[in-house]
Chain A
Amino acid sequence: MGKIKKKFSEGSSRTYTTRNRALRKLQVSLADFRRLCILKGIYPVEPRSQKKANRGSSKPTTFYYAKDIQLLLSEPLIAKFREHKIFLRKLQRALGKDDLTRAKGLETRRPEYTLDHLVIERYPAFVDALRDLDDALCMVFLFATMPTVSKVTNEIVEDCKRLSTEFMHYVIHSHCLRKVFLSIKGIYYQAEIQGQSITWIVPYQFSQNVPLDVDFKVMGTFLQFYRTLLGFVNYRLYTTSNLSYPPKVDQSMDDSAAGLGSLRIEAKRVEDLIKATQPTETTVPEVAMTKEMKQRMETLGSKIKKIVAADTTAPAYESVGDADGDQDDESQQSDNQLFAKQVFYLSREVPRYSLEFVIRAFGGRLGWDQTSGGGSPYAENDRTITVQISDRPVQGHQFLDRIYVQPQWVYDSINARRLLDVDDYLIGQTLPAHLSPFVEYEEGDYVPEAASKLAAAAGFEGEVTNLKPEDRDQSEDSEEEDVADIDGASADEDAPDSDDDEEDEDAIAEKQHQKQLLAERAGVSFSEYQQKQTAKPKPTAAGKKRSKAEIEEEERQKIAISMLSKKKRKVVNRTQADAYKKAKDVNTLKTRKAQAAKSAKGKKN
């Protein structure tokens, strides 16, 4: 007889551990554990069988991977947390005894810790970090606009501002911004860095209200890690694109609320040169000097001159862009430098914080009103300005040599990847709908009119083949299709699984509703529509035949479904229900569109 195996010595109960067990093992408080989890990126998991994982108990519990907890055991942060706890105790004692000198001395020796090792641990490769940058960016951009609250001090906010500005500068410099979307929540940006799509949202710059039901301690912990992460990412991004990091702060510009302009982005080479002149800090050995580098060194002098010259006239980024520009691919450049030939001027009412970033990211130059910050390279009466972005119902004085557009034009142009016709976007015009660039259309999806128009205008036949303008006056044929579609959809309701009478009634009601909708689409009252239908029951023989074949096919389908196993039948029914729901949603949108168009027409008349 073999040795009796101990219970719970292997399997699920070994793979997982509960939170309480983890706490006992790590000997930390719950708050510390949570902090650790946030910083280390450890998350609870859901075992397949809770009962097995929890040693036979089915009590609701939080589970973690036992391996994760094991790894936490050797985490240096735990020791740091303990140190901090001891420090606090000492400090409190000193303060309690009114021993201020001691307290001061302690304060100077406040234990501090960095999260550098966590960055490399969580993201072993730089690409991993980029992939997970969305949340970090959202948080940092949010806190850059936050008022200081407890747990989020002024330094943190300043740091967030700085980090976010640095990142924006990189995006501007590398022209990697792809999509922008003005949502009701904020402005979404999507950039593509090293093949990774990074999306983040920036709130509209109003004073953020600080809600009471939010635990800023938790958010602060997240932010602590995200700041570290973003700092390292920024460093890497800057250094790999030959920029010096950290960028220098132009104090005078910063004081005049220049926003993006307060940081001076400089090419790394200049810094290297300075470093090279200092004998102690020579990092590049002589042997490593490649031919290319030598060449660069030779041209360095002239370039520095150029940069210095440019610095005096225009912001630094342009010169850097110029310096790097010659390496870029021509076509890529044209795509990413949409506004290269434009000079913008922002009126004071438009959001400069977004437009400056966006326009510069697409190669445009711009000036702005003095009231929205200092450091504008162009005055309003500059003759080189080609586009003035203005968001007011009426523009008083207008320069004749420029066009006045509403800000949406910039965003829509970016999403369309070409300069759109300005006619729809002129001052006082009712703007065309602003669509999300993130939506990808699949077969059967509803395509808004604006999107199809855009696609048609752009002539992207290959890319969006299924984009067909949803026009009301289409041929009878398409109408037919719709009818068939609807029938198909409603027939799903008659599927064998749905055996309740209620459901049937629903289906009937739905059918009726669809018919009504059709009637509406045809632009007649429902009763009229019905009369028509009954009067001429679909004359064309071909249509009838097809519908009969379809009905047969459909019946066959239904019969076939009855032969499926329960599991598969559920899946099929679900997919069919999904398809039906989708069709229903599309239909609702279509009818709403029709209604809106109708009411708009009525207004015009």
Chain B
Amino acid sequence: MVGQNKGKKRGASSHEAPAEKAPLFPKSKGIDVPSDPEYSSDDDEEVEEGDFDEMLKEMANDQGIDSDDANDYIAGDSLDEEEEEEGDDESDIHSSDIEGASSEDGDDESEDGEDPEESDNEEDSSLERVASRSTDGQHTAVDSQNEAEGSGEEELDEVNMDKLTIRDFVGDIQGWKEYRKTLPQIDAGYASDSSTEDPANTIGNVPIEWYEDYPHIGYDIDGKRILKPATADELDKFLANMDDPDVFRTARDEVNQQDVKLSEEEIDIIRRIQGGNIPDADYNPYEETVEWFTSKTMQMPLSGAPLAKRGFIPSKWEHKRVMKIVRAIRQGRITRSGAPSQDTKPRFYDVWEKAEENDDDNTHQKRMARRARMPAPRLALPSHDESYHPPAEYLPSEAERQSWLDEDPDHRKKNYLPQDFGSLRSVPGYERFVQERFQRCLDLYLAPRMLKRTTQLNAEELMPKLPDPRDLRPFPSVESLVYLGHTGRVRSISVDPTGLWLLSGSDDGTVRLWEIVSGRCAKIWDLKETVHMVAWCPSADVCVFAAAAGSRTVIVIPSELCDEHKRLLSEELVRAGFNSAAQAEEGEEEDDSLPVSWDMPTSAEQATGIHVSVTMHKTVKSVMWHRRGDYLATLTAEEGGSSVLIHQVSKHKSQRPFRKLKGAVQSIMFHPTKPWFLVATQRYVRIYNLMQQALIKTLQPGVKWISSIDVHPQGDNVIVGSYDKKLSWFDLDLSVKPYRSIRYHRQAIRQVQYSRKFPLFATTSDDGTIQVYHGMVYQDLNQNPLIVPLKILRGHEIRNSLGVLDCVFHPIQPWLISSGADGTIRLWT
């Protein structure tokens, strides 16, 4: 019955054929053989079957089945075979229910648990599983029924089998259930999946090692312990192995604690797997394909529909496309590919021929040419040091070489390092050749160009056309005398109006009187405090000078120098104030806000010629006489309006011309011709009219810190010296901005001074030099003043970064007297 079904199935589905043919399933194969066309001879099949019978016997022996049983079993098989030959077409009903039942039923049957029976069943069930897998549950059911009958009585009637139809079977389910109970267990055998195979030892997924120390190896289905079979000791095992010719094909089944001998087929399978082949020896991977449709020419069309019109009428669109191409060919737009081009013009010809013949100005090229083009600058031609064998002096020293290498390649002056190769054969290729060409290319199209008009300027041409200093003589040019004696900086010097005597005030607290021509020190006044300023009274009638020492200003009459008449006049001028001051005190209230007190000096001082002492609150920095000799302006070191005071000597009266003053006053000066007063603050020079009490103008020298000012004797020009090394010349008639700014000194300018008699002026500076200029002011207003630098006088030493502090021109001679921080006074003639 089984065989019948199988045969039928094979016919229906081709894919099962290999499985059935497989040697793994020897029984089914044996059964299959007759129906299989490939197995042509029965003899072959029988041989195989015989082999298999032997194997079964062996297995039975192993499991303790007597050979009779096994033989019975085989007999049963052969019976099946006969059945199969009947070739019956039985019904094919699918029923999953039945299938499920059949598997259940297998489980139930296992309860019977007879060992020989079981092993027997095992073989059977393995056979059966194949069927159940390949076909359906019904067959299984049929088979199981079959076996139920066959297990007891081997001689099953063929006729009976035929009659046992499915309908009968399904009809009586109750009967089936009972029937099932009686059925022996079906073992799926080889053909079954291992998952459905029931091992004798049902310990589940427990590692077998856990049982190593126990006498049992697990539990059977009833929960009873399965005892380990007695094991021989190692020696016995060894001996047994030695005796056993099949030892190489014996594998140990750990779970069931038994040795399993592998069959030839199994070993073959293993070999095949090891060799990477398909395990099934009979499987033919290159089977001929069965061409179901293509190989046969059908006589009749599948469809009776008439042929579509487009199948036999030429396409309009194709026609259009073709015509397009035809037209293109006719018009010559499409030529045969590979045909030589019509243009046989040579690659190069004389392009300039026409251009040179054609003198027409309006051609495009000419227009292009007319445009101002900036041709790219040519690359510089190589110099000697680029030679492969340059003169030795062009080779860089090691330090230069290193610095060249360390430098950023973009900032190198030269992009190569001079090298001497000695001979041409040792010259290597230049590595950066391509890069340099590339750089040139980039320069040509990326670098912006600009026409730079450079006139080759000659320094001599640029030099100003100045008169030769030799034509502008006399001017002081040589150092003639040095007046030595001061121990501190000589801050201020002054020449008396007659030009015979020189006064000097120094940091050592003394005022000294010198005879100019001889350099003799005629007298010394010790004022105890730093003498900031000494100034002769400019009036020729009197012989008076003022000296600022500390916060005191003393007015002195050097009686030795003047005759009696002059002395009297001087004393009158100086001392008259005591009376008038007393009267004034009586008459009206003195302005108390003024920080001034006119005092009579001590008698000791009076003996030295000091007649009046004016004391102020702050250090007096500067003392300036008015040209008439009656007024005296003092500048103290303080901010605000009270820093500048004007004193009337004859009346011993002081007044404050400015209620408030912006900025720190640096220098003050009376105008030589007009009733003007100049105040130099840090940045500006302000000129006030004292009569009108108004600001006239503010000069803007554009310097940061004014140091000194002087007014030209004619009154129209002012020079301003600054600590930022600049000298500015102002023409008061022109502008408040300097007419000329000259920067020669390398250090701050300390003093600027006009000569009263000659067209000269001088500047002294902390760099130890005195610069003498020719400064001619013309009467003609249209003519600008002429300024010519004449001479640099060097001689003073620099002490504590202070150089020449003061200078003064001789009132009669073209001489210059200067004093410096080195304590010397020098006469330049």
Given A132-B375, A349-B425, A596-B392, A439 contacting B384 (CB threshold 8 A): yes
Supplied contacts A139-B437, A188-B381, A563-B789, 16 more A-B pairs, CB within 8 Å? A43-B449, A46-B449, A120-B352, A121-B364, A124-B366, A142-B437, A182-B389, A186-B433, A203-B433, A207-B429, A209-B434, A391-B425, A408-B423, A439-B384, A496-B746, A589-B393
Interface residues of A in 320-363 (CB under 8 A from B): 349-351
Given A43-B449, A203-B429, A560-B464, A185 contacting B386 (CB threshold 8 A): yes
Pick the 3 closest A-B CB pairs, nearest first: A206-B429, A596-B392, A438-B381
A576 lies within 8 A of B393 (CB) = no
Bound CA span A398–B174, Å: 128
A556 at the interface (CB under 8 A from B): yes
Q: What is the 8 Å Cβ interface bit string for chain B, positions 591-620, against chain A (1 contact, 0 not)? A: 000000000000000000000000000000
Q: How far is the CB of B439 from chain A (nearest CB, A)?
A: 9
For residue B432, which residues in chain A have a CB less than 8 angstroms away from its CB? 211
Would you give 27 A-B contacts (Cβ < 8 Å), ordered by A?
A38-B441, A43-B449, A63-B448, A120-B351, A124-B369, A129-B352, A139-B441, A182-B424, A184-B418, A203-B430, A209-B434, A211-B438, A218-B438, A232-B348, A232-B352, A235-B350, A245-B348, A391-B425, A408-B424, A435-B384, A436-B381, A439-B384, A556-B469, A563-B789, A564-B462, A571-B457, A593-B393
For residue B437, which residues in chain A have a CB less than 8 angstroms away from its CB? 138-139, 142, 219
For residue B365, which residues in chain A have a CB less than 8 angstroms away from its CB? 120-121, 124
For residue A62, which residues in chain B have a CB less than 8 angstroms away from its CB? 448
In the complex formed, the residue of B with least CB distance to A181 is B382
A210 at the interface (CB under 8 A from B): yes
How many residues belonging to A are interface residues under a CB distance threshold of 8 Å? Answer: 105
B381 lies within 8 A of A407 (CB) = no
Interface residues of B in 364-412 (CB under 8 A from A): 364-366, 368-369, 371, 374-376, 378-379, 381-384, 386-395, 397
Interface residues of A in 442-465 (CB under 8 A from B): 448-450
Bound CA span A555–B788, Å: 13
Bound CA span A350–B425, Å: 7
For residue A128, which residues in chain B have a CB less than 8 angstroms away from its CB? 369
A391 lies within 8 A of B424 (CB) = yes
Partner of A184, one of B388, B441, B442, B725: B388
Q: How far is the CB of B469 from chain A (nearest CB, A)?
A: 7
Partner of A119, one of B351, B382, B449: B351
Partner of B368, one of A45, A124, A349, A392: A124
Partner of B441, one of A46, A185, A219: A219
Q: What is the 8 Å Cβ interface bit string for chain A, positions 226-242, against chain B (1 contact, 0 not)? A: 00000110111001000
B428 at the interface (CB under 8 A from A): yes
Q: How far is the CB of A394 from chain B (nearest CB, A)?
A: 13
B792 at the interface (CB under 8 A from A): yes
Bound CA span A210–B444, Å: 21
B450 at the interface (CB under 8 A from A): yes
Partner of B462, one of A129, A132, A568: A568
B382 lies within 8 A of A183 (CB) = yes
Q: Show the binding face of A for B, using Cβ within 8 Å.
A: 34, 37-38, 42-46, 62-63, 67, 71, 104-105, 108, 116, 119-126, 128-129, 131-132, 134-135, 138-139, 142, 146, 181-186, 188, 199, 203-204, 206-211, 213-215, 218-219, 222, 231-232, 234-236, 239, 245-246, 349-351, 391-392, 406-408, 430-431, 433-436, 438-439, 448-450, 496, 499, 555-557, 559-564, 568, 571-572, 575-576, 589-590, 592-593, 596, 600
B660 at the interface (CB under 8 A from A): no
B463 lies within 8 A of A560 (CB) = yes
A448 lies within 8 A of B445 (CB) = no
In the complex formed, the residue of A with least CB distance to B392 is A596
For residue B466, which residues in chain A have a CB less than 8 angstroms away from its CB? 560, 563
B744 at the interface (CB under 8 A from A): yes
For residue A146, which residues in chain B have a CB less than 8 angstroms away from its CB? 434
Bound CA span A390–B771, Å: 71
In the complex formed, the residue of A with least CB distance to B746 is A499
A559 lies within 8 A of B789 (CB) = yes
Partner of A142, one of B389, B395, B433: B433
B422 at the interface (CB under 8 A from A): yes
Given A214-B438, A215-B438, A433-B389, A185 contacting B384 (CB threshold 8 A): no
Partner of A204, one of B384, B386, B416, B430: B430
B812 at the interface (CB under 8 A from A): no
A406 lies within 8 A of B448 (CB) = no
For residue A219, which residues in chain B have a CB less than 8 angstroms away from its CB? 437-438, 441
In the complex formed, the residue of A with least CB distance to B790 is A559
Bound CA span A42–B348, Å: 24
For residue B742, which residues in chain A have a CB less than 8 angstroms away from its CB? 562-563
For residue B427, which residues in chain A have a CB less than 8 angstroms away from its CB? 182, 184, 204
A496 lies within 8 A of B423 (CB) = no
A392 lies within 8 A of B425 (CB) = yes
B421 at the interface (CB under 8 A from A): yes
For residue B338, which residues in chain A have a CB less than 8 angstroms away from its CB? 108
A571 lies within 8 A of B434 (CB) = no
Partner of B743, one of A232, A496, A590: A496
In the complex formed, the residue of A with least CB distance to B396 is A592
Which interface class (under 10, 10 to 19, 20 to 34, 35 or more) fits B?
35 or more
A435 lies within 8 A of B789 (CB) = no
Given A181-B387, A182-B424, A199-B381, A576 contacting B447 (CB threshold 8 A): no
For residue B438, which residues in chain A have a CB less than 8 angstroms away from its CB? 211, 214-215, 218-219
In the complex formed, the residue of B with least CB distance to A105 is B337
B440 at the interface (CB under 8 A from A): yes
For residue A235, which residues in chain B have a CB less than 8 angstroms away from its CB? 348-350
Bound CA span A192–B458, Å: 32
In the complex formed, the residue of A with least CB distance to B347 is A231
Bound CA span A165–B368, Å: 32
B787 at the interface (CB under 8 A from A): yes
Q: How far is the CB of B342 from chain A (nearest CB, A)?
A: 13
B378 lies within 8 A of A134 (CB) = yes
B436 at the interface (CB under 8 A from A): yes
For residue B449, which residues in chain A have a CB less than 8 angstroms away from its CB? 43-46
Given A434-B387, A563-B742, A563-B789, A231 contacting B392 (CB threshold 8 A): no
Given A208-B434, A572-B462, A496 contacting B457 (CB threshold 8 A): no
A43 lies within 8 A of B374 (CB) = yes
Bound CA span A556–B429, Å: 55
Bound CA span A254–B444, Å: 35
B356 at the interface (CB under 8 A from A): yes
A246 lies within 8 A of B348 (CB) = yes
For residue B746, which residues in chain A have a CB less than 8 angstroms away from its CB? 496, 499
B462 lies within 8 A of A571 (CB) = yes
Q: How far is the CB of A144 from chain B (nearest CB, A)?
A: 13
Which of B382, B440, B442 has the largest count of A CB atoms less than 10 A from its CB?
B382
B459 at the interface (CB under 8 A from A): yes
Interface residues of B in 205-225 (CB under 8 A from A): none
Q: How far is the CB of A551 from chain B (nearest CB, A)?
A: 11
For residue A43, which residues in chain B have a CB less than 8 angstroms away from its CB? 374, 376, 444-445, 447-449
Bound CA span A67–B725, Å: 52
Bound CA span A82–B512, Å: 98
Q: How far is the CB of B743 from chain A (nearest CB, A)?
A: 7
Q: How far is the CB of B396 from chain A (nearest CB, A)?
A: 9
Q: How far is the CB of B408 from chain A (nearest CB, A)?
A: 16
B368 lies within 8 A of A121 (CB) = yes
A555 lies within 8 A of B386 (CB) = no
B375 lies within 8 A of A593 (CB) = no
B355 lies within 8 A of A449 (CB) = no
B349 lies within 8 A of A431 (CB) = no
For residue B349, which residues in chain A have a CB less than 8 angstroms away from its CB? 232, 235
Given A134-B379, A210-B434, A448-B384, A37 contacting B445 (CB threshold 8 A): yes
